[in-house]
Structure 1
Amino acid sequence: MTRVGRRLTPAEGEEILARATSGDSITAIGLRYGVTRQAIRGLLRRNGVPPRRAGTLTDAQRSEVVRRFLGGASLSQLAADFGVTAPSVRGLVIRRGIEIRSVSQGLRHDAFDSFEPDNCYWIGFLFADGCVSYRPGHIPQISVGLAERDRDHLVALRNYLGCDNSISRTSPTHGSCQFSVRSHRLADRLVELGRYKQAIDERLVVSRDFWRGVIDGDGSLGIYRRPAPSTRSFAQFRVVSRRHVMDAFVAFLEREGITGLSVRPHRSIFTVGTTCGPAERIAALLYAGAATVLARKAETAARMIARQRGGA
């Protein structure tokens, strides 16, 4: 039941904006967070995010979708073929009384139990870009949405988790895609490690792989030209998250000899940023020799590292 009048936390507001941008419907978001459709619409309007407009299927198309699903077509493929979202197809199939096929064969429910580099990286990435959802009567869901250009990174996450779940094209208009799995153990582990708490497990705080995952999710790296008439350029680093995450990141940098950074408010969240030499040192600390990375950020980090080493 929707709880009228419940106030959303700043973190929930950010997650709702991300879900709306990824293609989730206002109804689905309202049910997930226990607020009214009007509250969701107001939040989107205040932040300049348009409500999702999904295509409408004819009766004949609905019948064809059901027929093809029973014949083995995936939700994501049907969504792409008919110009709607995967959640829309899922809803149609469920309303017709058809059981959704389980596609989590091989899922590694223990993937976050230890602190090897790859484990720490993906935990960090899901801390930044992922959402853990609990609904009564359902297995907890971990979902993450990215721009279509980063789809290969969701493939890498799926491979790491050992399953074959589909990667849905959630918004044909905005070019986004989404991946999700359901697991009590994985969801509980992410929460236990500090995804929504005010303290992050210290074994993650000291891991450069964890922080690289956070940066790949919610950070930015860049090299920019200075205003004319200068012909020189400068490196820039920035990351946003909740206050306790940013405090832990600054503490990690200080232990690694990168000092002088502060946590600053940024709308409803917080940010840490710097330029020039410190930005290049952070890139080298997190990305030099790293195996698991978001490709486009790794490319920028490599250029920043080259500058630090005198190769610019």
Structure 2
Amino acid sequence: METTNISLELPAYAYLFGFIQSDGHLYNNTRNRGKVSIEIGKIDEEILWAFKNLIPFNSSISERVRKTNFSSQHTSVIWRVYDKRFRDYLESWGLPNGSKSKLIQLPSCSFSKVDYFRGLIDGDGSLGMTSKKFPFLSLVTCSSYIAVEYLELIKQITGKTKTSNKNTRDQVYNIVVYKEDAQLLTSHLYYNGCLALRRKLIKASEVLSWSRPPDMKRVNKKFWTPEEDQFITTHSIEHSMKVLGRSQSSIELRLWRLKKLSKQLVTN
């Protein structure tokens, strides 16, 4: 089998790797035995056939019906790959052994960023319209490494600096963008012809079709820039207030968030 065209610089493989990090499991056992598997609801079965056709290794797709908290007859579809060569690729890219690891990080090689993050969002995120009928796009992750890089991607695409902290209940980051920012991010992540869950592509179309109602006001929030972050960490609060034109409470809150994020990066 020809395997030289397996690379995370290719959009489909970058998406696949992100999807595996969010919804997949890598198991290694003795004597080079093991498997990679993804189990999802039958509604999304089509994406597993796309994965099966993508990789140059034998794989299988099967169904199972089980009782869950939401249904007495929940049907899921499982994609399994036993070929060690595929597992070797995943491990070389940085996928840890075990299920749903909190240790996931960005790939340890060059990769297609928007396709990789689309894979994560298809597995652990959502997009669509809020109850108030305006667009949103979110990514949920327990990895500080993923959170920091995704926030950087948001800044690159929207030009706005966002911050996020783990919530106290689940200890995860829930990073959400709304309205025009959600549309801009969606247009980059869910571009025409990309590999993605069909239902997410439908939602992406709804997001991109939205127009701001005339009576919906814009809120001009002053976001923190990396230069401002650097300034307040190297100057007094009083001096920062004068130079940056920000209030004392704003600077103190920002310093607290920067310190908290730094600790999370160290511990994770």
Q: CA deviation at 1:234?
A: 1.0
Are 2:116 and 1:210 aligned? yes
- Closer, same or farther in 2 for the Cα pair 1:203/1:138, shift >3 Å? closer
Aligned-partner residue type, residue 203 of structure 1: S
1:303 alignment partner in structure 2: 206
Q: CA deviation at 1:263?
A: 3.0
2:219 alignment partner in structure 1: none
Alignment equivalent of 1:234, drawn from 121, 134, 152: 134
Q: Deviations over 1:163-211 (max 9, x none)?
A: 563322133432211111013332232233233454533623x521111
Q: Deviations over 1:101-121 (max 9, x none)?
A: xxxxx6x75564352122212
Partner Cα distance (1:195, 1:243) in 2: 16
Partner Cα distance (1:171, 1:111) in 2: 36
Partner Cα distance (2:131, 2:105) in 1: 38
SS in 2 for 1:291: coil
- Closer, same or farther in 2 for the Cα pair 1:175/1:268, shift >3 Å? farther
Alignment equivalent of 2:183, drawn from 264, 268, 280: 280
Aligned-partner residue type, residue 135 of structure 2: A
- Closer, same or farther in 2 for the Cα pair 1:271/1:203, shift >3 Å? farther
Q: Deviations over 1:85-111 (max 9, x none)?
A: xxxxxxxxxxxxxxxxxxxxx6x7556
Alignment equivalent of 1:126, drawn from 6, 9, 20: 20
Alignment equivalent of 2:92, drawn from 172, 176, 192: 192
TM-score (structure 1 length as normaliser):
0.57
Aligned-partner residue type, residue 275 of structure 1: Y
2:62 alignment partner in structure 1: 168
Q: Deviations over 1:241-268 (max 9, x none)?
A: 2221121111222223442322331414
- Closer, same or farther in 2 for the Cα pair 1:251/1:301, shift >3 Å? same
Select the structure with the greater relative contact order (CA < 8 A; seq sep ≥ 6).
2
Identity %: 22
* Consecutive unaligned residues in structure 2, runs of 5 or more: 67-72, 97-103, 214-268
Structural mapping, 1:137-156, within 5 Å: 137-156=31-50
Q: Deviations over 1:60-90 (max 9, x none)?
A: xxxxxxxxxxxxxxxxxxxxxxxxxxxxxxx
Q: CA deviation at 1:294?
A: 0.9
- Closer, same or farther in 2 for the Cα pair 1:157/1:111, shift >3 Å? farther
